[in-house]
Structure 1
Amino acid sequence: MKSSAVTIKEISSLSGFSISTVSKALNDKLEISKTTREVIKTIAKQHNYVPNNYAVSLRTQKTGSIAVILPEVTKTCYSQSLGHLQKTAESFGYRILFYQSHNSYTKELNYIKSLSDGSIDGIIIIISEKSKQIDQYGSHAIPIEFLKINLDQSIEEIKHRSHKSLIELLKS
């Protein structure tokens, strides 16, 4: 068995089917017979085929990724919020990428700028009560949701606010 994942092109070569047929089979298109789909999927499984997330996101216009920018992961309230955001996001089929700003407004803006390249579906910025006003972040091409967390908030309130922020982001 090959140790690294193969591409659709390599599966095409191995199976004798066209690249288009392989792609359709791997995406369960009904125009490809069940037998052909099974043959192609067996070869893909034997060779550790993993779909190219970049190609899939280009086709679907969704990356399945959400960025979370937080002040400090070592602060309990922020790490609890991050944990709940991840759990909730995964239940909706999303993954979380997180970034620490270390309470730097400039870092937050730089993260927003670099993440606005289409590599994620949205951003949640966890801010403290001491943070700059939300309207100072300006408008961006990517959906952004702000989540205000206080250091003395209860776990239940953090969960509630985190869940609400993620749902709002997914609606946009």
Structure 2
Amino acid sequence: MEQKVTLKELAKQLNVSISTVSKALNDSPEISPRTRERIKEAAQLRHYIPSSLGRNLKSMQTRTIGVIIPDILPHFFAKALYGMEAKATEMGYRLIICISNESLKKEKESIETLISGSVDGIVMSISQETQAKKQIQHLLDLKEYNVPLVLFDRVLAGIPCDKVSINDSLQAEQATMELISTGCRKVAYATGIPFTSVDDQRRDGYMEAAKRQKMKNRIIEFTHDKFPHQKFLKLLQEEKIDGILASDELSAVQVTKCILNAGFRIPEDISVIGFTNGVMGENFRPSLSVIDQQEEEQGKLALETAIDRIENKLPDEFMDYKLKTTIIHRDSTRKV
């Protein structure tokens, strides 16, 4: 069977914009009769099936929103999805969920799938590979399809769209200062999510606090599937680390496990604070002190923002929401 031709492929073949093709196929008076005829003839020759036209016609909305997340396993994204589903049901929309698995290629494919499926808008958190390679053209191209985009958690300033997140830099700085206020003098930053916007901001916040306290930067970077036990132990022993700020929940659990296995006590010898208020950290022994990222609220607000944008309830300028967060102190940090 011949593969379905897309609106994008038609536009490329005819050397016109995607919006021009869409308007021509909908008999828009903005497009000249000659151009409309040329585009329609090409569409007929290529057997174009206009399954996605509904997304460009306000009277033919599908009331469907596509959601793309980097991973389903982290507590943050699971809770964010829970919030989105609740808000979508409340507002009469349904969701189509895609997982990029931190892959640029998979992220692009997910966007193409959602667009061809006639979603009215897309809510997403950007994959690690997309940010590492700094390839965002597929996100910028969404404006050609008239599909509103809302980014949450992992957001980039160079993408013109609505955004929902927390102030990661400020929260990391405050968490580092809290560790110092409880007596820590050599605080390290441990991250298992390098090459992401949230890691960049959290790292900046940690370094700002270190600078203010005239404290040496101690940063250890790794991937969750290859935790550097020996390298981390060497850092603990040689640098006499007494505080750790972890970039995310799994990183906090991994460093805590390594600390305990090495015979150190938590929090007597080393205090630990991580990001994300998840069940893993709450039920770990010792229970982990965390920065509450308001994951469910982020999901709800991102979904509501997408719907408001679709229904023309927002001003032309894009929104940039920063949710307030708090540090939840448990057993992994000392009392002030």
Q: Tell whether the structures are fold-level matches, with TM greater than 0.5.
A: yes
Q: Select which of 133, 138, 141 maps to 1:139.
A: 141
Q: Select which of 292, 295, 298 maps to 1:158.
A: 295
Contact 1:71–1:103 under 8 Å retained in 2: yes
1:101 CA drift (Å): 0.6
Match of 1:92 in 2: 91
Deviates more, 1:109-118 or 1:137-146: 109-118
Larger radius of gyration: 2
CA distance in 2 between counterparts of 1:105 and 1:134 reads 8
Contact 1:78–1:126 under 8 Å retained in 2: no
Match of 2:79 in 1: 80
1:60 CA drift (Å): 3.8
CA distance in 2 between counterparts of 1:131 and 1:83 reads 25
Cα 1:59–1:147 change in 2 (3 A) is closer
CA distance in 2 between counterparts of 1:115 and 1:82 reads 17
Q: CA RMSD in A?
A: 3.0
Match of 1:148 in 2: 153
CA distance in 2 between counterparts of 1:70 and 1:134 reads 17
Deviates more, 1:162-171 or 1:75-84: 162-171
- Count of residue correspondences: 118
Among the aligned pairs, what percent are the same residue? 23
* Unmatched 5+ stretches in structure 1: 1-53
Cα 1:129–1:111 change in 2 (3 A) is closer
Cα 1:162–1:129 change in 2 (3 A) is farther
Instruction: Give the AA of the match of 1:87.
Output: A
CA distance in 1 between counterparts of 2:59 and 2:93 reads 14
Instruction: Give the AA of the match of 2:296.
Output: K
Contact 1:128–1:148 under 8 Å retained in 2: no
Query: Residue by residue, what CA displacement relative to the aligned partner does 1:102-145 show, whole Å, maximum 9, x if unpaired?
Result: 00122111211232235211111123788616955213111111
Deviates more, 1:96-105 or 1:112-121: 112-121
The equivalences for 1:1-172 within 5 A come to: 60-117=59-116, 119-127=118-126, 132=131, 136=137, 137-140=139-142, 141=145, 142-148=147-153, 151=248, 152-154=275-277, 157-172=294-309
TM-score (norm 1): 0.57
Cα 1:118–1:72 change in 2 (3 A) is closer
Instruction: Give the AA of the match of 1:144.
Output: L
Deviating above 6 A after TM superposition, structure 1's stretches of 4 or more consecutive aligned residues are 56-59
Secondary structure of 2:116 counterpart: coil
1:87 CA drift (Å): 0.7
Contact 2:65–2:122 under 8 Å retained in 1: yes
Secondary structure of 1:127 counterpart: coil
Structure number with higher relative contact order (C-alpha < 8 Å, ≥ 6 residues apart): 1
CA distance in 1 between counterparts of 2:77 and 2:66 reads 14
1:167 CA drift (Å): 1.9
CA distance in 1 between counterparts of 2:129 and 2:296 reads 20
Instruction: Give the AA of the match of 1:71.
Output: P
CA distance in 2 between counterparts of 1:88 and 1:161 reads 11
CA distance in 2 between counterparts of 1:86 and 1:158 reads 13
Secondary structure of 1:72 counterpart: coil
CA distance in 2 between counterparts of 1:120 and 1:145 reads 13
CA distance in 1 between counterparts of 2:77 and 2:121 reads 19
CA distance in 1 between counterparts of 2:304 and 2:86 reads 13
Secondary structure of 1:123 counterpart: strand
